[in-house]
Amino acid sequence: MGRRARRREAGGDAGAPAFVAPTATFTDPDGNTLELRGSLTLKARQEYAGVLHGGNDREDAWQRAAELLFERLAVAWTIDGVTAASQRELLGRYRAATPGERRFVRDCLRAHAAEWFPELDAP
């Protein structure tokens, strides 16, 4: 008998609702939206700090740190009515973003980090 089966037999937490992190939605002047998660694990915070302040070239570290933060926080990004919601879609869309779209994402990440994660150095 496996762990899940024992947990089901014992009543476990099968009926307990799953934790759903709060989100915040940001909208640009064109009506495109970016939804960001309001929780970030301790390990992700440590990884972010390591990348941002690591031994990489400053510009490279800054770009990678912004991408890592986006990867961990983005829930959905709607551009021109097309929504990217899976991690693969979001990261691909971020990497293909125009300079204006990246600026919008950076501004959102800064505002979101200042409100939800004030101890982080925003990208």
pLDDT score recorded for residue 93: 95
Specify the pTM: 0.78
pLDDT score recorded for residue 54: 72
Could you give the domains of the chain? 21-116 (3.30.2220)
pLDDT digits 0-9 by tens, 61-104: 888 888 999 999 999 999 999 999 999 999 999 999 999 999 99
| Cβ atoms 105, 65 nearer than 8 A | no
| Cβ atoms 93, 21 nearer than 8 A | no
Query: d(Cα 121, Cα 123) in Å, to the nearest integer?
Result: 7
pLDDT digits 0-9 by tens, 14-51: 566 776 779 999 999 999 999 999 998 889 888 888 88
Q: Tell me the chain's radius of gyration from C-alpha atoms.
A: 18
